[in-house]
Amino acid sequence: MRQTNTLGEALETLKLIWRHREGFKFGGRQINQLKLFKWQVDLENKIPAAVLDTIDVLYPEGKPRPLLTKKNRIATGWHMIFTLQPGVTFSGILRQTEFFSDACRAHVSIELKGGFIHMTVHDAKVETYYPYLWDPTPYLEKMDLPIPIGYGPTGQLKVIDLADLPHMRVGGTTFTGKSNFLHNLFISLAKLPYVRLAVIDLALLEFSYSRGFAAFATETITALRLLTALEKEMHRRRQVLEAVGVEKIQEYHSLMGEESKYDLPYIILLIDEFAFMNPDSTPETGEKEIRRQCQSICANLAALARKVGIHLILAMQRPDMKILPGQLKANLPGALSFKTIDDVNSQIILDNNAAANLPDIKGRAIWQVGNRQQEVQVMHLPLKKARMILNQLRGVRDSGEWINYEAKRLPPSKSSRKASKTL
Ligand SMILES: Nc1ncnc2c1ncn2[C@@H]1O[C@H](COP(=O)(O)OP(=O)(O)OP(=O)(O)O)[C@@H](O)[C@H]1O
């Protein structure tokens, strides 16, 4: 009988002997078929076993505990359903998510559905590199603002509709891929002819290539002017929608026809580094006031602008509670976090430690909406390629600034509208 070296080989051999019902040797020892079969089953059940062990530790014997009623192997890992016993609460289990993640060495999401606890353990592996390749066309039938987030464990590209989301927060320490993602986002949105972009680049993240295509500010004083113009535009749009008796920009577009997407385009505001708007990090009174106003307009836009088609993406390296207070965070429901330097930073962005435990892979991040999360690998878009794509878009689009925030003129001129439609 042959000697096996690896686990894979051992399992292959198992299949063979199962058919022929003979004993065989593994590592020099005679293993009986039944033992090996049990070993395979144990391996398969490693995750549910880790979850049950964690429950044993968290809910000592004799005390009420969640009871496993169903487990299924799914493409991305395991899905388990638990019944809630009297004395066990959903929020109590949710608070223990980190323990389950640690025990399974995988991301765990927990939800309450129909009175049952649904736990999903994502133990599938994510590939380490994907180049930027993005065509929004197949998504436009169902989505207004499709954006690619990254590839998940199944090798599927996670695409979301920013129009539904409606705002996002992006975190992660330096050199992990945050800027790359923002360029992904910018270029992907620039491909949509009924989108206008605004960038506040306080971190000087090389967004200067977007000048003339997007409204652009690199200092807090110009950022304040830009934000003020956007806030006015938000109020103007609310009146426009009110006048025709609709509540949301989508209803306006469907009532007034495709053409109206160019009269009332979506506006996406991208801010990096949002923490530079913290008034407490400057001693100058004048600058403090500018930052305070910037922050307050951002909070207003996050709370009120989604229905009128203005969407925010706020990126930050080291957020704190002052820069991302609970209310603002609640209004930015989509979160993408690259690796953070510690649990505290991960907690601020995601409300859990998942981003601190990410592997050291550039472009690897956690995508989270509510308590659903998944690990993704963001596509790599080198700056040179971003510049090249934008230059091609400039060729078919009006390259004049669509928003003259100094003069507070909005929305884009007729000429830019005509040019956009040819894209
Ligand atoms: N998705 C990705 N795939 C492969 N490489 C990536 C990816 N994202 C970023 N990189 C590479 O990792 C390095 C850091 O990326 P990036 O500048 O985006 O990080 P960052 O976190 O924004 O850093 P900083 O805040 O200092 O600008 C770059 O060399 C970039 O080319």
What is this model's ipTM? 0.97
CA distance 361 to 176: 7
Bridge-partner residues for 109, per DSSP? 120
Handedness of CA 387, 388, 391, 397 (dihedral sign): negative
Task: Please state the separation of Cα 267 from the chain's center in Å.
Answer: 19
- Residue 222's alpha-carbon distances to 19, 134, 213, 413, in angstroms, are 74, 32, 17, 21
- Model pLDDT for residues 213-270, shown as the tens digit of each residue: 899 899 999 999 999 999 999 999 999 999 999 999 999 999 999 889 988 999 999 9
- How many CA atoms does the CB half-sphere of 9 hold within 13 Å? 9
Residue having the nearest C-alpha atom to atom 5 of ligand 1: 362
Q: Is the CB of 340 under 6 A from ligand 1?
A: no
Going by C-alpha positions, the residue among 165, 166, 178 that lies closest to residue 318 is 178
Q: Is the CB of 385 under 6 A from ligand 1?
A: no
First-to-last CA distance in the chain? 68
Residue 133: predicted pLDDT: 96
Pocket test for ligand 1, best of 126, 157, 179, 270 (most atoms within 8 A of CB): 179
**176 is an annotated ligand-binding site residue:** yes
pLDDT at residue 418 is higher than 60: no
| One-letter amino acid of 147 | I
Angle of helix 220-243 relative to helix 249-256, nearest 10 degrees, comes to 50
Going by C-alpha positions, the residue among 180, 249, 256, 186 that lies closest to residue 215 is 186
Q: Is the CB of 381 under 6 A from ligand 1?
A: no
The radius of gyration of the chain from alpha carbons, rounded to an integer in Å, stands at 26
Give the CA-trace dihedral at 156, 161, 296, 222, to 10 degrees: 90
CA distance 81 to 115: 10
**99 is an annotated ligand-binding site residue:** no
Residue 19: predicted pLDDT: 45
CB-count exposure of residue 41 (10 Å: 0-12, 13-18, 19+): exposed
Q: Is the CB of 380 under 6 A from ligand 1?
A: yes
Contacts of 146 (CB under 8 A, 6+ apart): 136, 139, 140, 159, 160, 161, 162, 188
Residue 76: predicted pLDDT: 61
Task: Please state the separation of Cα 22 from the chain's center in Å.
Answer: 52
User: 376 C-alpha to center of ligand 1: Å?
Assistant: 15
Q: Is the CB of 312 under 6 A from ligand 1?
A: no
* Nearest ligand 1 atom to alpha carbon 183: 18
Q: How are beta strands 334-338 and 168-171 bridged, if at all?
A: parallel
* Nearest ligand 1 atom to alpha carbon 317: 25
User: 361 C-alpha to center of ligand 1: Å?
Assistant: 10
**pLDDT, greater one: 411 or 344:** 344
Q: Delineate the domains of the chain, giving CATH numbers in brackets.
A: 7-44 (no CATH), 46-122 (3.90.1070), 137-421 (3.40.50.300)
Name the average pLDDT for the chain: 84
Pocket test for ligand 1, best of 134, 158, 175 (most atoms within 8 A of CB): 175
- Residue 385 corresponds to which tokens in the numbers above? 């390629």
pLDDT band at 212 (very low <50, low <70, confident <90, very high): confident
The residue assigned the tokens 């199944």 is 154
**178 is an annotated ligand-binding site residue:** yes
Residue by residue, DSSP assigns 78-130 as EEEEEEPPTT--HHHHHHTHHHHHHHHTSEEEEEEETTEEEEEEE-PPPPS--
Q: Is the CB of 292 under 6 A from ligand 1?
A: no
pLDDT band at 6 (very low <50, low <70, confident <90, very high): low
- Residue 421 corresponds to which tokens in the numbers above? 């439609």
- Per the CB < 8 A criterion, the answer to whether 356 and 345 are in contact is yes
Q: What is the mean pLDDT of residues 82-102?
A: 92
* Nearest ligand 1 atom to alpha carbon 172: 21
| One-letter amino acid of 162 | L
Residue having the nearest C-alpha atom to atom 14 of ligand 1: 175
Q: Is the CB of 180 under 6 A from ligand 1?
A: yes
The residue assigned the tokens 């923002």 is 182
* Nearest ligand 1 atom to alpha carbon 364: 1
- Per the CB < 8 A criterion, the answer to whether 214 and 208 are in contact is no
Residue 139 DSSP class: G
Residue 252: predicted pLDDT: 96
**Percent share of the chain, pLDDT over 70:** 82
- Model pLDDT for residues 32-87, shown as the tens digit of each residue: 555 555 555 555 688 999 999 999 999 988 889 999 999 988 756 788 999 998 99
